Amino acid sequence: MVGIQMTIRLPKELETEAYRCFRCGFCRSQCPVFRAKQNESWNTRGRMILVKALMEGNLTLSPQIVERLYGCSLCKACETTCPAVVQTYEIFKKTRNEIYRLGLWPIILTDISASIDNQKNIYAMPSDDRTIWAMGMEGNINLKVGKKAKVAYFVGCASSFMGRLEGIPQSMIRIMNHAGVDFTILGPEEWCCGEPLFLAGAPQLAEEIVRYNVKTFRELGIETLVASCAGCYRVWRQEYPAVIREDLGFEVLHSSELLAQLMDADKLKLNKRGKGVVTYHDPCEIGRHCGIYEAPRKVLENISGIRLVELHKTKGDGRCCGGGGLLKAINPSLALEIASQKLDEVTATGAKIAVSGCAACKLNLSDAIREREANKLNIFSVEMLDITEMVAKAL
Amino acid sequence: MGEPTILEQLEKIVGKENLSTEDADLLCYSRDASENVGKPDIIVWPSNPNQISEIMRLANRLKVPVTPRGAGTCLSGGSVPARGGILLVLTRMNSILKIEVADLQVLVECGVVWQDLNNALASHGLFLPPDPASGDVCTIGGCIAEGAGGIRAVKYGTFREWVLGLEVVLPTGETVWTGAETRKCASGYDLTRLLMGSEGTLGVITKAWLKVFPLPRYRLIMSAYFNTLEGAGKAVFQVISSGLSPSAAELMDRNTITAVSKYMNMGFPDCAAMLILEFDGSFLSEVKTRMRRAQKICKTEGATGVAVTDTRAESDRLWQARKSALPALATLKPTMKPSTMLEDVTVPISRVPEMLVQIERTAQRHGVLISTFGHAGDGNLHPVIIYDERSTEDVERAKRAAADIFNFGLQMGGTLSGEHGIGLSKAPYFAKEHGEAEIEVMRKIKGILDPKGILNPGKIWSESR
């Protein structure tokens, strides 16, 4: 057996926490990975058994075990169903931290972290390409780059570099121009938010990034930072203040929250009517992790002509699309399978458009749609849109 | 040229992708929801009875133990492979084959999840009444094999009352159908009931014909709070013996109330015991009348407060709270490495108050933390002994307390298990409940069906000798 017999050490309070898992197995109903794999070692209960065995030194940390412990989208669904309220998310994050410390994390994470270290983005792309999406925009646009402004828009790596996601930043710009928001982006000076490093179990590698990002935005004198990617939003809100051990000095909003505020202030004139049934997929990192459920729904309800139909499982019970927790990078086929199951839920609502508020969700779910189209399984064709795109279409 | 290895032969039967010998899998499948441990050598995920039949023939020839498993939520070790060998995970056989609305019957595969079946039934205005707390995840096959019950068993009985017929693969590989597709059957030996509660030792249940029932139009829920456990026990007995026919009569003691309150943020009042009573039926006035009479009984028996749950959402939350009782108990002693012994002792309903007193005294006598909840209405109590598994002294104390509880239960004419099965957890006590001659009959039946003793060995009585 390849692998090293090593004991992992969790902080005392998390060790105790791990032993509170009774193995009742209720997590089977919620864990998106288990639903796809149908194998207990890919379920929260199984992962907890593995973590405990590793803590007790009774298990070899083989590549298979590492695969299981990184085979989790960190979506937190198990926590919502756990009757013992075990903090599985913290346990899994700390376990990944230990695996990283032992130098045994999945090899692709070495590539990603090197890319963030060298190029300050996850794709090893040149920083100058960070605004390439703006080139595709037609008409007069008002876009400040690295200037003082009230609001800063944090675009994020995926939306900056992935051509398929350019609709998200383009929509954000159109909306903020329409509403007359005084905003700036950082452009080539924007660095990755560091979220992949936090999820990978190497928060220590993210410190320089966090400090750079906070300092740079503080220097622009912003009052608000808005992120359209749920992952970027979460680390800005939850991880950054913990790293710098002080308040950021500006508020952090998710794009859906900004949209809702602009609508409340009557600054968005939605002249075009939408049509048909629309459903909303709660991204885990703004939903379960940060409790944002109402803002995106309020935004959608303000678009005339469409009918919002909720998914069978929604809000805190909403199912992860499989795109989170680095699963898409580490185990792309599994991420796709989970997204495909999510699509079944989407089609069950009769929706022609599925809306989300996260670049990773959009990417993974549209990959699943593509796969269905390639296999001619798209009996019900579904379009995947970000909430910003949905609103921009109605302007 | 020797015979192909067992692994190669199993691969031929189910395909390489449907079996595993990976360390990660073997470890994760070595446990269920009980304290027992047993590591399988090979895990197999069959997809039909023919494959299971071939596996059983192979295992018989090679004398390899086979343990069936559903969702692994068993509370007595039934799905833990005590002697290693092949673990037969049946969750992929999860189709609902027929819903015969007119006949009030369904045909399902063994791996169908309880909640999935009830969701499907609800769209026809039907339900399957026995409702184990693990219903969101547990499988119908597991429920039948373990004789599972649940909150509504007080009115509707356990799974034993709802199974009409079974397709079973015998340990020697033959596939047989037992029972009938009718609501009554007096034709021949009742093999269906023999298999129910046999804990996967007599055959692998692969399909089941089940009775189902129209969903009641009205369900009303009330809670009553008491200063003593005994008072709550007496009130339950009065409610049942007055013929008020509650569809649930659940009891929670102070420790359970504390844990559940914390988990669900329920804000129950401070009290020694709480009763939750549900009444269901087709006519609102009739259901209300029964509930009002129950309220009166509770007050007469010393209830300090009675509350009626008005909305569906509130009721759902209350039941969710009750069903989370066992795992939520882990919040009670957060400083230690907690383990639990969950008992399932069941006594005649008139003895419930007395049994509750004995459990309280047992906890005091041995200095252990016992949290009691359960289906007081049918005499089925779940005292949970919470102990620190790292302390030998604590473990010994817990064991002595468990033995006392069993003895009191049996002295009152009770049984070791109302709905969780004997499995590994209670096997050492089995001979206290059943006479040698009775156990011998069971052994003989086992011997006829499973001559080589390969199916789920080590369970029910083996350890007691």
Reading the block at residue B275, the tokens are 């009763």
| CA A152 to centroid of chain Cα atoms | 19
Is the pLDDT at B463 greater than 60, yes or no?
Answer: no
Chain A residues near residue B80 by CB distance under 8 angstroms: none
Is the pLDDT at A344 greater than 80, yes or no?
Answer: yes
- Percent residues over pLDDT 90 in chain A: 89
* Angstroms from A174 CA to nearest CA on chain B: 42
Measure the CA–CA gap between A263 and A255, rounded to whole angstroms.
12
Compare CB distances from B28 to A1, A46, A83 and report the shortest one's residue.
A46
| pLDDT score recorded for residue A379 | 61
CATH dotted code for A108-263? 3.40.50
Cβ within 8 Å, pair B337-A16: yes
Kindly state the average pLDDT of the residues A3-19: 83
Q: Which residue does chain B place closest to A24, by CA atoms?
A: B33
Nearest 5°: phi and psi at B86?
-95, 130
Least reliable range by pLDDT among A15-19, A98-102, B96-100, B272-276: A15-19
Q: Within 13 Å of residue A330, how many CA atoms lie on the same side as its CB?
A: 23
Cβ within 8 Å, pair B92-A38: yes
- Going by C-alpha positions, the residue among B119, B146, B145, B275 that lies closest to residue B206 is B145
Q: What is the mean pLDDT of chain B?
A: 93
| pLDDT score recorded for residue A380 | 60
| pLDDT score recorded for residue B267 | 83
| pLDDT score recorded for residue A1 | 46
Find tokens 């350019």 and name the residue. A166
Q: What are the counts of helices (DSSP H) followed by strands (DSSP E) for chain B?
A: 16, 18
Chain B residues near residue A65 by CB distance under 8 angstroms: 23-24
| pLDDT score recorded for residue B465 | 37
Fold of A4-105: Fumarate Reductase Iron-sulfur Protein; Chain B, domain 2 (1.10.1060)
**Alpha-carbon distances of B208 from A156, A266, B93, B106, B142, rounded to whole Å:** 53, 60, 12, 8, 11
Measure the CA–CA gap between A329 and A340, rounded to whole angstroms.
17
Reading the block at residue A303, the tokens are 């678009």
Cβ within 8 Å, pair B29-A41: yes
Interface test with B, best of A23, A43, A56, A60 (most B CBs within 10 A): A23
Q: What is the mean pLDDT of chain A?
A: 95
Find tokens 């009052």 and name the residue. A223
3-state secondary structure B114-149: HHHHHHHHHCCCEECCCCCCCCCCCEHHHHHHHCCC
Measure the CA–CA gap between A51 and A328, rounded to whole angstroms.
22
Kindly state the average pLDDT of the residues A317-322: 96
Cβ within 8 Å, pair A53-B27: yes
The string over B276-313, giving b where at least 16 C-beta atoms fall within 10 Å of a residue's C-beta and e elsewhere, is bbbbbbeeeeebeebbebbbebbeebebeebbebeeee
Chain B residues near residue A67 by CB distance under 8 angstroms: 24
For chain A, the domains span: 4-105, 108-263, 270-394
Cβ within 8 Å, pair B91-A46: no
- For the domain with range A270-394, which CATH number is right: 3.40.50.300, 1.20.1050.140, 3.30.420.40, 3.90.420.10? 1.20.1050.140
Measure the CA–CA gap between A289 and A316, rounded to whole angstroms.
9
Chain A residues near residue B33 by CB distance under 8 angstroms: 22-25
Interface test with A, best of B37, B43, B137, B388 (most A CBs within 10 A): B137
pLDDT one-digit tens code per residue, B95-150 = 999 999 999 999 999 999 999 999 999 999 999 999 999 999 999 999 999 999 99
Q: Which residue does chain B place closest to A20, by CA atoms?
A: B330
* Angstroms from A200 CA to nearest CA on chain B: 21
Bridge partners of B383? B372
Measure the CA–CA gap between B96 and B302, rounded to whole angstroms.
47
| CA B73 to centroid of chain Cα atoms | 9
Compare CB distances from B327 to A49, A67, A83 and report the shortest one's residue.
A83
Chain A residues near residue B338 by CB distance under 8 angstroms: 19-20
Kindly state the average pLDDT of the residues B14-38: 96
Is the pLDDT at B338 greater than 80, yes or no?
Answer: no
* Angstroms from A302 CA to nearest CA on chain B: 28
Q: Which residue does chain B place closest to A3, by CA atoms?
A: B23
Specify the pTM: 0.94
Residue B328 · residue A84 · CB < 8 Å: yes
Find tokens 């007395």 and name the residue. B354
* Angstroms from A255 CA to nearest CA on chain B: 32
Q: Is the minimum CB–CB distance between A333 and chain B shorter than 8 Å?
A: no
pLDDT one-digit tens code per residue, A183-234 = 999 999 999 999 999 999 999 999 999 999 999 999 999 999 999 999 999 9
Compare CB distances from B330 to A20, A25, A49 and report the shortest one's residue.
A20
Q: Which of residues 53-112 of A touch B (CB under 8 A)?
A: 53, 59-60, 62, 64-65, 67-68, 81-86
pLDDT one-digit tens code per residue, A261-273 = 999 999 998 999 9
Q: Which residue does chain B place closest to A60, by CA atoms?
A: B23
A387-394 and A167-179 helices cross at what angle (nearest 10)? 50
pLDDT one-digit tens code per residue, B210-225 = 999 999 999 999 999 9
| pLDDT score recorded for residue B310 | 78
User: Is A96 buried (19+), middle (13-18) or exposed (0-12) by CB count in 10 A?
Assistant: buried
- Percent residues over pLDDT 70 in chain A: 98
Q: Which residue does chain B place closest to A23, by CA atoms?
A: B33
Cβ within 8 Å, pair A84-B28: no
pLDDT one-digit tens code per residue, A39-73 = 999 999 999 999 999 999 989 999 999 999 999 99
Three-state secondary structure call for residue B210:
strand
